[in-house]
Amino acid sequence: MAPTGGILARFSLEGRVAVVSGGAGPQFGSSVTEALAEAGARVISASRSMERNEALAAGLREQGYDAHAAQLDITETDSITALAGRVQQDFGGADILVNSAVVGRGGGFAEQTPEYWQYSAQGNMVGLFAMCKAFLPTMVERQRGSIINIASIYGVVANDPGLYEGTDMKQPPDYTFVKGGMINFTRYLANYFGRQGVRANCICPGGYGDNQPAPFVDNYEKRVPVGRMLANDDIKGAVVFLASDAAEYVTGTSLMVDGGWTSL
């Protein structure tokens, strides 16, 4: 029998409370929620669709995990404040905050408008700030907390227009803008709250396989060193690591989960 404790024990999230915005989303969100629950955290999946949140939480509870659902509209600060209040009242606050929710309608440079950018900023920028503002005080009070922001490779490098040849797909310019800002805002949080026990890090996923047109998938897989697109389970280990005591000395960083894309 293997001894208890040691390095594997530092990856455990037993006794921690985790909130995941966009936690029932098919792209990253549900994988993040599952990973935190599987590592032992009491996890709250929060997004607009209570139906999807409740279905995800119920499925996790059936497997013996401690999972809950909550309503959240990342574009409404009142909704964020209400979520933080509920988490404080029901669970005593959050030890782990994962900002995975994203607002977006797609469209390329020609299609997007200044009005759309204001809408995008309200969710992706103001919403991110409001989430951190709402949940940080309890972390500071406890002198312990981990904030994990789900950014993107396109917050680090420019997208390659050649990927979209043979398709009608277009890379939304606001996405690159907000993900780049998220990464630097994460560094700000790390620098200002590190001495108060709060760590802040980003995960930058690569291209997520979501039944895109065959030419895009082919172009992407030819370029990425591991030869395939990112799948749901690929992000789980990174989330648990950054949330856990195993990453106690890791803050202000952007962890690339991109199959080597940004190494080229």
Annotated catalytic sites, by residue? 175
Q: From residue 7, how far is each of 4, 41, 245, 246 by CA, in Å?
A: 10, 18, 10, 7
Strand order in the sheet with 17-21: 67-71, 42-47, 17-21, 96-99, 145-150, 198-205, 254-257
Is 85 buried (19+), middle (13-18) or exposed (0-12) by CB count in 10 A? Answer: exposed
Q: How far apart are CA 210 and CA 250, in angstroms?
A: 31
Nearest to 129 by CA among 200, 42, 66: 200
Chain centroid to CA 70: how far? 16
Q: How far apart are CA 99 and CA 192, in angstroms?
A: 18
Phi, psi of 129 (to 5 degrees): -60, -45
Nearest to 237 by CA among 209, 257, 210, 260: 257
Residue count of the chain? 264
